[in-house]
Amino acid sequence: MKINLNVVLILLFALISGNILAQYDITAEEIIKRADEKVRGKTNTSTLEMQIIRPTWKRSVTMKSWGRGMDYSMTYITAPAKDKGQVFMKRKTEMWNWMPSISRMIKIPASMMSQGWMGSDYTNDDILKESSIVHDYNHKIVGEEKVEGFDTYKIEMIPKEEAAVVWGKIYKWISKDDEYIQVKSEYYDEDDELVKSDFAYDFKKMDGRLIPTRIEIIPADEEGKKTVLYIQDIKFDVDLPESFFSQQKMKKIR
């Protein structure tokens, strides 16, 4: 009997592909969801410091932050003095900024989405589109790698056709253990050029969860530039109703 080599190759490829997919007991989307929930909880409140580092200068911003899931967050700036009292709020697809020095509430427009938040390498769009990391991308486990001592899943995220997102592709490395720690990320533009990376360090137990307490965001091809976020304290699953995230609260929060 004559054996068709092409048919054999197709069947062999299908078998190998099936075995590769079968070795994972969890989907890429579920890994992303668990990794995100790990650092947020259902709700959270935290104290943070952000250092914006440039070749010739460095600036530090300290803040208090409150979050409810991926759709609601509020941040109160505590230093430096010239920015103290500013409040930023995200409600689903909107971002607002309360500036007490001029008693003005500003809705951040789409034209400012690509600008760095507080002059950092973390953009307004990064903050606004946090929820899209699950809903607007197709997720796929494309490999396993050891990163910073962690055995990780490498997950490729390609935007869905109808998704209004900035990134052409994202890779995330998330630990394979039950901690689901996001160790590293890479963000690419539509031309498949690396735009920036972020790295997690200094893992500590905070409120019963092992989380990174230092996160570095490094732009590609911009030597000497980076933003470092330090988590000084965080509490999870606190009493924080949706009504907390209002313009009225922005003017009163301390």
pLDDT, position 244? 97
Which tens digits make up the pLDDT trace of 47-75? Answer: 999 999 999 999 999 999 999 988 899 99
DSSP 253: -
Provide the domain limits for residue 55.
Answer: 27-252
Which tens digits make up the pLDDT trace of 194-249? Answer: 999 999 999 999 999 999 999 999 999 889 999 999 999 999 999 999 999 999 99
- Asked whether residue 17 is assigned to any structural domain, the reply reads no
Q: Is the pLDDT of residue 19 over 60?
A: no
User: Rounded to two decimals, what is the model's pTM?
Assistant: 0.85
pLDDT, position 135? 86
pLDDT, position 172? 97
- Asked whether residue 6 is assigned to any structural domain, the reply reads no
Instruction: Report the chain's terminal Cα–Cα distance, integer Å.
Output: 82
Least confident span in 40-49, 116-125, 141-150, 206-215: 116-125
pLDDT, position 81? 96
Q: How far, in Å, are 25, 32, 146, 162 from residue 140 at the CA level?
A: 13, 10, 18, 18
- Asked whether residue 1 is assigned to any structural domain, the reply reads no
Burial class of 80 by CB neighbour count within 10 A (0 to 12, 13 to 18, 19+): exposed
Q: How far, in Å, are 53, 195, 219 from residue 222 at the CA level?
A: 11, 10, 6
Domain count, the chain: 1
- Asked whether residue 5 is assigned to any structural domain, the reply reads no
pLDDT, position 4? 54
CA distance 26 to 140: 11
- Asked whether residue 12 is assigned to any structural domain, the reply reads no
CA distance 75 to 50: 12
- Asked whether residue 7 is assigned to any structural domain, the reply reads no
3-state secondary structure of 7: helix
- Asked whether residue 237 is assigned to any structural domain, the reply reads yes
CA distance 169 to 75: 28
Whether the CB-CB separation of 51 and 58 falls below 8 Å is answered with yes
- Asked whether residue 19 is assigned to any structural domain, the reply reads no
pLDDT-derived band at 91 (thresholds 50, 70, 90) equals very high
Q: What are phi and psi of 3, to 5 degrees?
A: -100, 130
Q: Is the pLDDT of residue 175 over 80?
A: yes
Whether the CB-CB separation of 96 and 88 falls below 8 Å is answered with yes
Q: What is the CATH number of the domain that holds 45?
A: 2.50.20.10
Q: Is the pLDDT of residue 183 over 80?
A: yes
